[in-house]
Structure 1
Amino acid sequence: MAQADVEVVVDMDVEGAPEAGEAVQVLRRVFGYDAFRGSQQEIIEHVIGGGDAVVLMPTGGGKSLCYQIPSLVRSGVGVVISPLIALMQDQVDALRALGVRAGFLNSTQDLEERRLVEAEFLSGELDLLYLAPERLRVEQTLNLLDRGKISLFAIDEAHCVAQWGHDFRPDYLALSMLHERWPEVPRIALTATATEATHGEISSRLRMADARHFVASFDRPNIQYRIATKSEPKRQLLELLRAEHPGDAGIVYCLSRASVEKTAQFLVDNGIEAVPYHAGLDARTRAANQARFLREDGLVVVATIAFGMGIDKPDVRFVAHLDLPKSVEGYYQETGRAGRDGQPSTAWLAYGLQDVVQQRKMIDGSEGDEAHRRRLSAHLDAMLALCETVQCRRVRLLAYFGQESTPCGNCDTCLVPPQTWDGTVPAQKLLSTVVRLQRERGQKFGAGQLIDILMGKKTAKVIQFDHDQLSVFGVGADLREAEWRGVVRQLLAQGLLAVEGDYGTLVLTDTSGEVLRGAREVPMRREPEKPARAARSKASGKRAPVDLPEEALPVFEALRGWRGRTAKEQGVPAYVIFHDATLREIATARPATVAALGAVNGVGENKLAKYGEQILDVLAGGDGGDGAEAPAGPAAAPAGRGTAPEPEPADEEALPEPPDDIDW
């Protein structure tokens, strides 16, 4: 690997300890910001002082600075344990663009590359070294670390240690050995996704009970959470993208590989540039599609949950789910990949009866003991509660992570409060139908047949089984089919109905009798009328970025064009050069000198030296080297610096596929 153009040099006093305020100096000089956000400074100073820390901070909150800056200030090399192999190169590229001496060791390198990084580590020529947890099973790696000087251990994505969590990685269980082998080296464990139970498991399994714990708010106020009743999910998705996100980058999650392929092709056929990503694709195709998503503007990736952890693309404007996530943790982490730059973004989910039936079937057929299945059911119950709530989604979401909040005014239930109704009588009718089929006929059926019976439909199947002779035939003709499907879905969500067997037949639960006896009321969320399809957006190209004056838009686009060409020449994602937020501020302020440019948020010393003259050339009406010209304009006074953004780890290793290749 080539060395960075400018090395970070940390001032030390005569005793070899960092000078006071060195963390702030590094923040300004390297990252180009004057102030920390939230608890960043407190965490950083605690680790610099040699203390252990467990950090729970939402995506976009700036977790990576909490170990990057201590690694630059403390003597030695910061060793970062990350499960995200495939994007370590991008992580290192982003740091080297800042002048930070970073390297990685993983299975993608050949022997010569590994030897070079090892030599850099041993000679003290690195500030940060990234390792996958699997590397710590290799005695050669442990011996290498013994021979070097380590400033700290950072355990990223620490929730992977939770054995019943959504991203469990067995190799994380061995990371408690770090303290046993290197007891004097401080450790910092970080995650964006942890319930109180997962938090406790992180502390216990990593043996960090004595560490100082920092828990930030999990709220992502720039994300608008919306959950829609599923009808034609691919068509609903297309309408969302055309009406609200034309030309935007985004991620669409599907449960199965088959659904990924079909959805990606559907979007392409309808004029949306999209690529698939799942573990069934060959490694070359996955890598190419991932690289395109990171490096290109406006691309949509359709993926299974194998994609996304650690993706540091700041301008993802939407995350859409076409299938129900298995847990609130997974949903929160996946939706958190939207809006890392703090700009308004959308988390959209299409959810329906079949999602509930299928998830229940998967739990019943899952490996593991009964306790394991109960845990899976508890995860699903929490996700269903989030989907069915008539209260603020954000309040419900944050409550799951043990945090109180007030209605946000920016989720679907706040913007268009749903209606509720007393569903007790329809529930009794449906449960009675189940009872009569089982007791009178010895039969079990799925939701479709039950609804046909209640609505009085003389289908071939109804006639075949003489179900038109049942006393409940036609007693539910007052409700639409969509409403009956909502009744079934909500009874399943409330545990008043259960799924049984491979065919998804419906059976009573222990609590069904309370409803049948009239001892329990069943409030329900009213199913919406089928919405009219949104008119196709006539917008061409990209929308103006939020908070950008209209007169600054041509300058912003010229800067983006320069950034795109520069990133392509260097073979790195565009955000490694500069984030959109930095380009927006440059386009608005139009600094006329290198010194004024250096006052802009996110322009550190190394990037100022490397790109300063090119940016000024673009602002003056040139193109920074080649390409389309930007309109000239009067220089404005430079804007003041802001607080630190989040240069999150840009790494990813394909996570395990769902156990079944389900195609809904």
Structure 2
Amino acid sequence: MIDAAYKALKNYFGYDQFRTGQDQIISRLLDGLDTVGIMPTGGGKSLCYQIPALLFPGITLVISPLISLMKDQVDALGNAGIQATYINSSLSFSEGRERLTGAARGEYKLVYIAPERLEVPDFVHTLERMNVSLVAIDEAHCISQWGHDFRPSYRSIPAMIDRFVRKPAVVALTATATPNVTEDIRHLLGISPEGVVVTGFARDNLNFQVIRGQNADVFLLDYLKENRDQPGIIYAATRKEVDRLYERLSRNGLAVGRYHAGLSGQERASSQERFLYDDLTVLVATNAFGMGINKSNVRFVIHYNMPRNIEAYYQEAGRAGRDGEKSDCILLFSPQDIRLQKFFIDQSEMDESLIKAEYQKLDQMIGYCHTETCLQTYILRYFGEQEFENCGHCGNCLDTREKSDVTVDAQKVMSCVKRLRERYGKTMVAKVLSGAEDQKVLQFQLNRLPTYGIMKDRTQKNISEFIDFLTAEQFLVQQGGAYPTLALSERAVPVLKGEAKVYKKGRVRAERIVVDDALFEVLKTVRKALAQKEFVPPYIIFSDQSMREMSARLPATDHDFLMIKGVGQQKLEKYGQAFMEAIAAYEAEHSEPKEPV
């Protein structure tokens, strides 16, 4: 049956070869063997059940956590000529019942449902009567309480599978599972150890970077202006921060939207749809946005705040470059992020063992923000891949910035913190060092300290940013709650004694991700027009990767067009003429005029 799988891959999806791990997972499923697949975001997990779904006689039931993913996947499958539907809370009762009846009659090859549906007895009874050949569990880490996004409704899946008279094959897929979580998934679903297929977590097209001790707002605005025409996501830890960034970026003329749970459902849906349809370039969001978002041409993901753990970070960052094109994953680290994430953990209702595990994960996330080794290697080791060479393209691997000796300034700041008995925060320290004649400075007689005014040649803002640098580099630590005070860390002691030096690298400068050629921009316009006509997101028509290949290879015949990655027979018939005409017109307009004979 594997030959039939390759034929389906080409005819429906326009690819000649499976990606690493896809053929192995598909072969197992075609043999009726239950499988756990651990593949990176953008690694092609969906094809692992969509191809078998086309070859199996019955229905493939896909359990997916988010409504947005279901609609996205069903739209893409319909565009490729495959019958699929979804049943979730976005439908009326009669619509849901009608689709369920259609599924029972075998009108669809794939049916997407939310895990919460499995807690409704009548729904499960209806499923039992269907001819289900395959159960696909997407975002399978949600079944494990040790996963970063545990959902209790996922625990209903094993019982549902057991109720089928003729047991279907089962595949559980995720991009972010540590060895412990993988083992938990396997155990809960009763899948044998040899049924686990791990393709590796590396995403070679992603350029990871951590920026610390630098003004985050300035860098963010510079980066977005440099990449104004590239779609991207900015994650912030709180609704308040999302709103602030949204207002700031809007004032600077950027096509930006926002998404968080405090907004109305209508505004969230509008922001998401406008982003998917390329009407918005940037979306600022909390982690409420993104799981299951299938937009393939996200060129950057910027974390304005540090996430709680590496699983969450890698899943969110992995939403960049799903089409395999070069993309940026940037984390703007601030020491305040640590306090915020500790607050979130302490406010949770987890039991003590889970809280302890969350703190351990947070420590590893903090380690990522401070490591000077290869960032991708750090992430891969976290997920259990020990043998891996440096990537050669992350921010640390490419860092050639010169270091300057800032030991004397560091000693001045540390000395001031010590003179203030570690009882004041950053603002007051900066005021004392700059010699500010502030009411509180005078009231508390801090102007009598030996460190008063010893950095008066610098502005308070400049001193505050330098304090941020020292805190980010772990020479200073923040203590306390809502109004944190500054204290010296163990790293500061040898600096104050003159036994160690402090070096500061130059600023990281924002750079452009990709430079698109003029023909690619023309093809984007064609794609957008077709997408608007069919009411689907542009990337469903063709990915950026497919259009860059068209721009390079200039297909002029049906045969040439079929050779482009992502072009199957269905898409050739639907869109081939429009794109080839646009390419021919562009060539005619830009060809060199022939000299007279």
Q: State the TM-score, normalized to the length of structure 1.
A: 0.78
Q: 1:415 to 1:250 in 2, by over 3 A?
A: same
Q: Where does residue 594 of structure 2 map in the other structure?
A: none
Q: Where does residue 11 of structure 1 map in the other structure?
A: none
Task: Give the 5 Å matches for 1:241-280.
Answer: 241-243=224-226, 245-280=227-262
Q: Pick one of 568, 579, 584 that aligns with 2:543.
A: 579
How far 1:349 sits from its partner (Å)? Answer: 2.0
CA displacement 1:601-630 (0-9 Å, x = unmatched): 222122223333444443443xxxxxxx87
> In the alignment, is the contact (CA less than 8 A) between 2:417 and 2:487 conserved in 1?
no
How far 1:92 sits from its partner (Å)? Answer: 0.6
SS in 1 for 2:396: helix
> In the alignment, is the contact (CA less than 8 A) between 2:474 and 2:491 conserved in 1?
no
Q: Where does residue 499 of structure 1 map in the other structure?
A: 479
Q: Pick one of 209, 233, 248 that aligns with 1:226.
A: 209
Find out whether 1:133 has 2:97 as its counterpart: no
Find out whether 1:592 has 2:556 as its counterpart: yes
Q: Where does residue 361 of structure 2 map in the other structure?
A: 379
CA displacement 1:419-462 (0-9 Å, x = unmatched): 69999x97999599679948xxxxx4445556767888786545
CA displacement 1:216-244 (0-9 Å, x = unmatched): 2211121111222354433321101222x
Find out whether 1:346 has 2:328 as its counterpart: yes
User: Quick one: which amino acid aligns to residue 98 of structure 2?
Assistant: L
Separation in 2 of the partners of 1:165 and 1:476? 48
Separation in 2 of the partners of 1:29 and 1:412? 40
How far 1:87 sits from its partner (Å)? Answer: 3.8
Separation in 2 of the partners of 1:377 and 1:474? 40
Separation in 2 of the partners of 1:475 and 1:369? 49
> In the alignment, is the contact (CA less than 8 A) between 1:76 and 1:150 conserved in 2?
yes
- Greater shift, 251-260 or 131-140, is seen at 251-260
CA displacement 1:552-604 (0-9 Å, x = unmatched): x43x4343322211211111111222222222333333333323322332221
Q: Where does residue 170 of structure 1 map in the other structure?
A: 152
How far 1:313 sits from its partner (Å)? Answer: 1.2
Q: Where does residue 46 of structure 1 map in the other structure?
A: 28
Q: Where does residue 203 of structure 1 map in the other structure?
A: 186
Q: Where does residue 284 of structure 1 map in the other structure?
A: 266
Separation in 2 of the partners of 1:517 and 1:252? 38
Find out whether 1:570 has 2:529 as its counterpart: no
Q: Where does residue 95 of structure 2 map in the other structure?
A: 113
User: Quick one: which amino acid aligns to residue 309 of structure 2?
Assistant: S
Task: Give the 5 Å matches for 1:2-401.
Answer: 19=1, 21-182=3-164, 184-210=167-193, 212-229=195-212, 231-243=214-226, 245-296=227-278, 299-401=281-383
How far 1:469 sits from its partner (Å)? Answer: 6.7
Separation in 2 of the partners of 1:524 and 1:405? 32
Q: 1:452 to 1:215 in 2, by over 3 A?
A: farther
User: Quick one: which amino acid aligns to residue 574 of structure 1?
Assistant: P
How far 1:174 sits from its partner (Å)? Answer: 2.2
> In the alignment, is the contact (CA less than 8 A) between 2:213 and 2:473 conserved in 1?
no
> In the alignment, is the contact (CA less than 8 A) between 1:620 and 1:631 conserved in 2?
yes
Separation in 2 of the partners of 1:191 and 1:345? 21
Separation in 2 of the partners of 1:428 and 1:165? 45
CA displacement 1:159-212 (0-9 Å, x = unmatched): 122324332222112222234223721111111112222222322333435561
How far 1:32 sits from its partner (Å)? Answer: 1.5
Q: 1:450 to 1:139 in 2, by over 3 A?
A: same
Count of residue correspondences: 583
How far 1:334 sits from its partner (Å)? Answer: 1.1
Q: 1:483 to 1:299 in 2, by over 3 A?
A: closer
Separation in 1 of the partners of 2:412 and 2:352? 30
Separation in 2 of the partners of 1:131 and 1:522? 63
Q: 1:469 to 1:286 in 2, by over 3 A?
A: same
Separation in 2 of the partners of 1:574 and 1:514? 52
Q: 1:426 to 1:303 in 2, by over 3 A?
A: same
> In the alignment, is the contact (CA less than 8 A) between 2:412 and 2:451 conserved in 1?
no
Q: 1:478 to 1:374 in 2, by over 3 A?
A: farther
SS in 1 for 2:40: coil
How far 1:57 sits from its partner (Å)? Answer: 0.7
Separation in 2 of the partners of 1:613 and 1:460? 74
Q: Which has the higher helix share?
A: 2
Q: 1:437 to 1:190 in 2, by over 3 A?
A: same
Separation in 1 of the partners of 2:404 and 2:449? 30
User: Quick one: which amino acid aligns to residue 573 of structure 1?
Assistant: P
Q: Pick one of 369, 391, 414 that aligns with 1:408.
A: 391
Q: 1:242 to 1:422 in 2, by over 3 A?
A: closer
Q: Where does residue 574 of structure 2 map in the other structure?
A: 610
> In the alignment, is the contact (CA less than 8 A) between 1:361 and 1:502 conserved in 2?
no
How far 1:341 sits from its partner (Å)? Answer: 1.3
Separation in 2 of the partners of 1:201 and 1:390? 32
Separation in 2 of the partners of 1:75 and 1:422? 70
- Greater shift, 389-398 or 365-374, is seen at 365-374
> In the alignment, is the contact (CA less than 8 A) between 1:252 and 1:319 conserved in 2?
yes
Separation in 2 of the partners of 1:380 and 1:258? 22
> In the alignment, is the contact (CA less than 8 A) between 1:422 and 1:521 conserved in 2?
no
Separation in 1 of the partners of 2:430 and 2:552? 59
Q: 1:427 to 1:220 in 2, by over 3 A?
A: farther
Q: Where does residue 505 of structure 2 map in the other structure?
A: 528
Q: 1:471 to 1:192 in 2, by over 3 A?
A: same
Q: State the TM-score, normalized to the length of structure 2.
A: 0.86
> In the alignment, is the contact (CA less than 8 A) between 1:23 and 1:69 conserved in 2?
yes
User: Quick one: which amino acid aligns to residue 353 of structure 1?
Assistant: P
